[in-house]
Each structure stands twice: as C-alpha cells, then as structure tokens.
Chains A and B, each alone.
Chain A
Amino acid sequence: MRILVCVKRVPITGGKMVLAADGQALETKHLGFTISPHEECAVEEAVRIGGEVVVLALGPAEAEEQLRDQMAIGADRGILLRTNGEEWDAQSTAAAIVDALRAEEPFDLILFGNESADAAGFQVGIRVAHALGLPVVTGLKKIEVQEGRVRCERDVGGARDVYEAPLPAVLTVLEGLNLPRYPSVPGRLRAKSKPLAVVEPVRPEQRLEKLRLVVPEGQGKQAEILEGATQVVAVMQSLGVA
C-alpha cells in the first residue's frame, strides 16, 4: 500500500479569537500550531493500515514542524508545498496538490480531513479526487481496506451508512475514526532524518478571495454567579429541567 495524507498547519486557538492588526489572519504570536483534528486521525489510520505513508502540507516553511510531527508517529516522508504564508483558497490548494502528485508514483489511498479546522471549505479532497479521476467517500468514521477495495462507514444521525470504493480512492475522515497516538521520543528522533521534499507552487488568482476576517459579536457574556447547590437547583427548576 502507498498512502498519501494531506494535512494543514493551523494555530491552536485558546479561549478567544484575536485578529492580527490587518484583519487577514489570527494573531498567532502567542499560539502554538498543530494540524486539524480530523487529519490527526487520518495520519493515525494511514500508519495503522501500513505500507509507505507520505504526508503532504501546503503552507509556510514552518509547516515542516507539523510534517515532522507526523513522521514522528510513523509517516515515512513528507512533501511541503511551501508558500510565503499567504492563505490559499480551496480551489488553488487542490490544484497545487494535484500538480505535486504528477511527480509521484500513484497512491492507493489519498486521505484528507473532512474539513480543515480553520477555513472549513469542505472541498479540497473532493476536488483532488475529481482532478485525478478517482472515487471519493467523505466524512468517514470507519475504514476497512480489503483486497483492491475499501469499505467505509459514515455517521448519519445515530446510524451508519456503508460505502464501498475500488482502490485507488480518495477518502476524507472525521475525528473519532481512531484515537491518535502521541509521538514517542525515539519517533521524534527518527523523524528528523526522514526525507522531506520541498516544492514552491505559484499562487494563482484567488477565486474565493478572502477580504477580511471578523470576530462575531456575542462573545463575552457576563455569567451570573450562583452560590451553592440550592441556587443551582432553583435555576434548573426555572428552566424546567430539574
């Protein structure tokens, strides 16, 4: 099996969204970075399925940290589509991934998160599948690779729908698919020397062109402080839930 997992570097937001002065991005000076939660499960699943696992990210030079993190939990090598830090819309991200794959032997499986934590466009995986002429199944909570095909399940409000696709295929997954492992210290050491290819794609004109970000109103309520269980139960009774 050869598996590609596409991931995205995103900030670890705390309790509050604070914008940078230009309103184009979050202020990240005091924030750490990770990959989207769904993608953590995609990488874990790829490592469990086994074979060669390649991780790919489109992002700034610093996204190498996130690719190394994935190599630390078992990915074999990385591909960084290096940008100057500007955001790319979903359409141009998908096109850059497809371009990068021309230089690669075909993969049996290409995994994505169902949507990124930050931009949440819900489309890069589906666009890549169409461009490569591959079947795609999205929103998965269970994946079983069988001889030449994959059987997978998707939540539909308290039930699961079952899908099958021939390999090669594109799959997008949701958190809850598995419980991702933490990288070990030896894993981190090994990751340092794993191969990382860097490509610099050209950012095309953005067709979903971000103008600015806005923090929605309504953050910052003043909670009424309750003293003790009697007051809490009185509130529950007033809400009709006690």
Chain B
Amino acid sequence: MIVCFVEGDELSAQAVGFARALGPVRAVTFAGAYQPAAWAAALAAQEAEAIVAAGSDRGNELLAHVAAVLDQPFAANVVALDGDTVMRVRWGGSLLEEARLHGAPKLLTVAPHTQPAVETGEVEVLDAPDDGSPKALERVEESSGGVSLRDAKVVVSGGRGVGSAEGFGVIEELAGLLGGAVGCSRVVTSAGWRPHTDQVGQTGTKISADLYIACGISGATQHIAGAKGAKKILAINSDPEAPILASADYAVIGDLHEVVPAISAELRRVRG
C-alpha cells in the first residue's frame, strides 16, 4: 500500500497520480491546526511500502519529519521512480539527479507540475494527537499591494540593467498598463532597489504568467528557475549573447530604457 498525504490542491492531485503508478493508494489528510511533527508521527506509524506527498512546503516538511522519525532516507522532488532508482530535481529544476533510494518504506515527494493531476477519490482523515510540538497558531493576512506576482497574467521584471531603484519607473509603467505585476532578479533585491517579495527565482517567487518580460536580466539559472513557469518569455536586453535568450521565446535587442517606454507608448497608441 502507498500512503499519500493530500491537501486538496492541484499539487496533491499530481502526487496521487504519481503514487497510483506505484500501487494501490490510501490518500490521507489531517484536520485542525497544522502541526508538522505530530502529523508526521501519525504518517510514520502507517503500514506502507511508500509514503508520498507533493513537493510543496508542507509535503517536503512532513516527509523530512517522517524520515527523521523512521531514520530512513528521503528523496525530495522526485520526477520519476523505477524500482529503487529515483530521478529528482536539484537547483530549482536546472539540474536532475539520478539516485538510489536505499530505504523502506520509500519516502519521497513529487516535484510540482511534473505529473498529470488525477481525481483523488476518497480521503481518510488520520488522527494526530497534539504532542506539544510547534504548530500554526494563527494566520496573519498580508495587505495585498495590487496584483500578486505568483498569480499575475503578465510579469514585467527588471535586472541589473535597470541600474537603480528609480530606473524601475519604466518597468512599473508597463506593468501597470498590462495589469501585471513588477518582478526583479536577485541582484536587484541584494542591491536594495526592490523588496524581496518582488524577486523571481529559485529563492524568490516562482511565477506562472502567460507572458514574462525580462528587462536587463542576464538569465542566471537561479532566475530562470523562477521564470520558467511562464508560458512565454520576452527578453529585452542590450547583449545579444545574454544567457536569458536561451530561455526566451521572443527577444528585443536594445536598451531597456528606450525599448520599454516605447512599448508603453505603442500600447497607449493602439488603445487610442
């Protein structure tokens, strides 16, 4: 039997799909406040050949707890499993690792958006008594400042080429016209030009826009890891050799400080 932890979301439905290919699946969840160590103790107590979850914040956390309790290896963000051999994601998806998982039960999470989602079917609610370990006590809503980066249909993003915090004026203008969100690369956040909440990348936000416009961004793998969820990528860069072009569908070779305002002006013109 494969035990699969689900949260009732898209990633869980993908994890169930992955698990079903391994054998009969028991989909399980918990009620009440999230308490990782307690929930994991209950998962670890299940009879299972494998314990599986989505490679989400909670999925990876719970499986790590289960692995610690059982003293077994745990493979995070797996894309394929063949016998004892896993293929798993490294570097935010820029690299894969083939590895042998020498453990029983097999403990793994399923890399997001690498498997089709399936109907989860019946979900059993497991009991996880409060063991006094840290749990989610309250939820604080953040004041929403416009369109969220994660869900925006269009993201207009600036990198080192923008040159300064003030330079983001042209980026903000275009994002505003398109009803999109402003993003940035890690260089920009480290320089203090934009807050970390605007950062697209492996250690920032992973976007899912219809169009990502990368202005003055060279295209380090750390950045692409967050941008590749976009359906189309338009790079605006003065360097025709910039690595971002290898990930882009469209490119304008030119100075963003001229190209971006020209696009905004053209948008206004066609809208009359």
Contacts and interface: CB of A to CB of B under 8 A. Distances in A.
Contacts of B250: 223-226, 232, 235
Interface stretch (A76-84, A99-107, A121-129): A121-129
Interface string A19-61: 0000000100000000001100000000000000000000000
Query: Interface centre among B142, B248, B266, by most A CB within 10 Å?
Result: B266
Interface in B207-241: 210-211, 218-222, 231-232, 234-235
Contact of A233 (B71, B91, B249, B266): B266
Interface string A172-211: 0011100110000000000000000000000001111111
B139 A159 contact: yes
B141 interface: yes
Contacts, number: 253
A207 B73 contact: yes
A232 B252 contact: yes
B165 interface: no
Interface string A205-229: 1111111111110011101111111
A157 interface: yes
B181 interface: no
Given A219-B246, A224-B249, A242-B270, A17 B68 contact: no
B154 A156 contact: no
A37 B203 contact: yes
Contacts of A94: 68
B103 interface: yes
B91 A17 contact: yes
B165 to A, nearest CB: 13
Contacts of B64: 121-123, 126-127
B134 A164 contact: yes
Query: Interface centre among B96, B180, B243, by most A CB within 10 Å?
Result: B96
B65 A130 contact: yes
Given A126-B64, A207-B103, A233-B270, A214 B95 contact: yes
Contacts of A119: 90, 97
A16 B259 CA distance: 26
B211 A241 contact: yes
B99 A126 contact: no
Contacts of A145: none
A165 interface: yes
Contacts of A148: none
Given A13-B91, A163-B134, A225-B253, A123 B68 contact: yes
A13 B219 CA distance: 11
B138 A91 contact: no
B129 to A, nearest CB: 16
Nearest to B209: A241
A152 to B, nearest CB: 9
Contacts of A164: 134, 137
Interface of A: 13-17, 26, 37-38, 89-91, 94, 115, 117-123, 126-127, 129-131, 135-139, 153-154, 156-165, 169, 174-176, 179-180, 205-216, 219-221, 223-230, 232-233, 235-237, 239-242
Given A15-B220, A161-B139, A176-B197, 10 more contacts: A89-B73, A91-B67, A169-B134, A207-B101, A208-B75, A210-B97, A212-B98, A226-B250, A239-B210, A241-B211
Interface of B: 34, 36-37, 57, 60-61, 63-65, 67-69, 71-77, 85, 87, 89-103, 109, 133-142, 144, 148, 150, 153-154, 178, 180, 186, 189-190, 192, 196-197, 199, 202-204, 210-211, 218-222, 231-232, 234-235, 242-253, 259, 262-263, 265-267, 270
18 contacts: A13-B94, A15-B242, A37-B202, A135-B134, A139-B57, A161-B139, A163-B137, A179-B190, A209-B100, A212-B97, A213-B90, A214-B96, A219-B246, A221-B245, A221-B246, A221-B248, A223-B248, A223-B250
